Chains A and B, each alone.
Chain A
Amino acid sequence: MIHRIQHWLKHSLATRLTLLILLATIIAWSGFSAVLLYEARKETAEVLDDQLTAYADLLWQNLGGEDDLRSNNNQDNDYHDELAFAVYHLDGRLVTASQQRPFPLQPSASKKPYSINLNGKEWQITVRSGENHQLIVGEPLKNQLKIAEELSEHLLEIALWALLLLLPLLYLAIRQGLKPLKIVDAELARRAPNNLDALNIVVPSEIAPLRDRLNTLFAQVNQTLARERRFTADAAHELRTPLAGLRVQIELAQSSPRPETREKALGKAIHGVDRTTRLVTQLLALSRLDHGETPKFEAISLSDLARSALLEAHLPADEAHLSIEQPCALIGQPLLLGLLLRNLLENAKHYAGPDAEIVIQIRGATLSVCDNGPGVSIDDLARIGERFYRPAGQSQPGAGLGLSIVRRIADLHLAKFKISNRAAGGFCAEIGFRRELQ
Chain B
Amino acid sequence: MRILLVEDDLLLGEGIQDGLIDAGFVVDWFQDGEAGRTALQTEHSFDLVVLDIAMPRLDGLSLLAWIRRNLGDLPVLLLTARDSIEDRIKGLDAGADDYLVKPFALGELIARLHALLRRAHGRSENSLTWHSIVLDPVHKTASKDGASLDLTAMEFKLLHLLMANYPHYLSRSQFDEKLYGWQGEIESNTLDVHLSHLRKKLGSEVIRNVRNLGWRLESN
Binding site for B on A (CB under 8 A): 237-238, 240-249, 251-252, 256-258, 261, 264-265, 268, 271-272, 275, 390-395
Contact = CB atoms under 8 A, between A and B. Distances in A.
Given A237-B81, A244-B102, 6 more contacts: A247-B103, A247-B104, A247-B105, A249-B15, A261-B22, A390-B56
Nearest to B109: A248
A245 B56 contact: no
A240 B81 contact: yes
Nearest to B102: A244
Contacts of B107: 251
Nearest to A380: B56
Contacts of B12: 241-242, 244-245, 248
A266 to B, nearest CB: 12
B11 A245 contact: yes
Contact of B18 (A243, A252, A393): A252
Interface of B: 8-12, 14-16, 18-19, 22, 31-32, 34, 54-57, 79, 81-83, 101-107
B19 A252 contact: yes
Contacts of B22: 252, 256-258, 261
Contacts of A265: 15, 18
User: Which one of B14, B18, B106 has the greatest number of beta carbons of chain A within 10 Å?
Assistant: B18
Given A240-B102, A243-B103, A392 B11 contact: no
A246 to B, nearest CB: 7
B16 A392 contact: no
A251 B19 contact: yes
B11 A246 contact: yes
A392 B103 contact: no
Contacts, number: 89
Nearest to A389: B56
A238 B54 CA distance: 10
Contacts of A256: 18-19, 22
A315 to B, nearest CB: 26
A246 B11 CA distance: 7
Q: Which of B15, B16, B81, B105 gathers most chain A CB within 10 Å?
A: B15
Contacts of B8: 392-394
A391 B55 CA distance: 10
Contacts of B9: 241-242, 244-245
Contacts of B101: 240
Chain A CB within 10 Å, residue with most, of B9, B34, B54, B104: B9
A248 B56 contact: no
A137 B104 CA distance: 124
A393 B31 contact: yes
A248 B15 contact: yes
25 contacts: A237-B54, A237-B81, A240-B83, A241-B9, A241-B12, A242-B11, A242-B12, A243-B103, A244-B81, A244-B103, A245-B15, A247-B103, A247-B104, A248-B11, A248-B15, A251-B15, A251-B19, A251-B107, A257-B22, A258-B22, A275-B11, A390-B56, A391-B56, A392-B31, A393-B31
Interface hub of A240, A272, A275 (most chain B Cβ within 10 A): A240
Please provide the 4 A-B residue pairs with the shortest distance between their CB atoms, ordered closest to farther. A245-B11, A392-B56, A248-B15, A245-B12
Contact of B10 (A240, A246, A392, A395): A395
Nearest to A257: B22
Given A240-B81, A393-B31, A393-B32, A248 B106 contact: yes
A268 B12 CA distance: 10
A268 B34 CA distance: 26
A275 B101 CA distance: 20
Contact of A251 (B11, B32, B57, B106): B106
Contacts of B10: 245, 395
B11 A268 contact: yes
Contacts of B19: 248, 251-252, 256
Contacts of A268: 11, 14-15
A181 B24 CA distance: 74
Nearest to B10: A395
B122 to A, nearest CB: 30
Contacts of B18: 252, 256, 258, 261, 264-265
Contacts of A251: 15, 19, 105-107
A395 B79 CA distance: 20
Contacts of A261: 18, 22
Contacts of B56: 390-394
A242 B9 CA distance: 8
Contacts of B54: 237
A394 B55 CA distance: 11
Nearest to B31: A393
A112 B106 CA distance: 126
A264 B22 CA distance: 14
A379 to B, nearest CB: 10
A391 B16 CA distance: 22
A242 B106 CA distance: 14
Nearest to B57: A392
Given A237-B82, A251-B19, A246 B103 contact: yes
Contacts of B102: 240-241, 243-244
A10 B79 CA distance: 62
